Structure 1
Amino acid sequence: MTSIETRAVDAADTERPRQRRRKGVLFCPACGHESHVGENWAVDRTGDERALRCPECETVVSDR
């Protein structure tokens, strides 16, 4: 009898080769830009709220 091992595949596993990445890396779903949270993401603040926008395509990737 043949046994089959299955596991869930993350989309990131199939799209990019594994690399060493630091924690806190944001990924833009629209253009694929990636960088550390504190690097080049544009931050828009309104009162106590903030929005992080992609520096490449201006897509909002976080609103918390």
Structure 2
Amino acid sequence: MVVHEQADELDERTTAWMKKQPFCRSEKIRHKLQQAHVGALVARMYPHGEADTLEAITRLLI
């Protein structure tokens, strides 16, 4: 399976962004979203996409 080369970075940036959002104040919610690895999922869906575009897609999914 092909995965975007910046998958780990994308997942980290997504987690950092998520922690700043008002809907993620609960530790339980943050933990569940981190376990979902939405950034890594999007990196698998679009292995050849632009990193900025993939980051925007992860934010829409969260």
Structure with more relative contact order (C-alpha pairs < 8 Å, separation 6 or more): 2
TM-score category (smaller protein): under 0.3
Structure 2 length as normaliser, TM-score?
Answer: 0.23
Q: What is the TM-score normalised by the length of structure 1?
A: 0.23
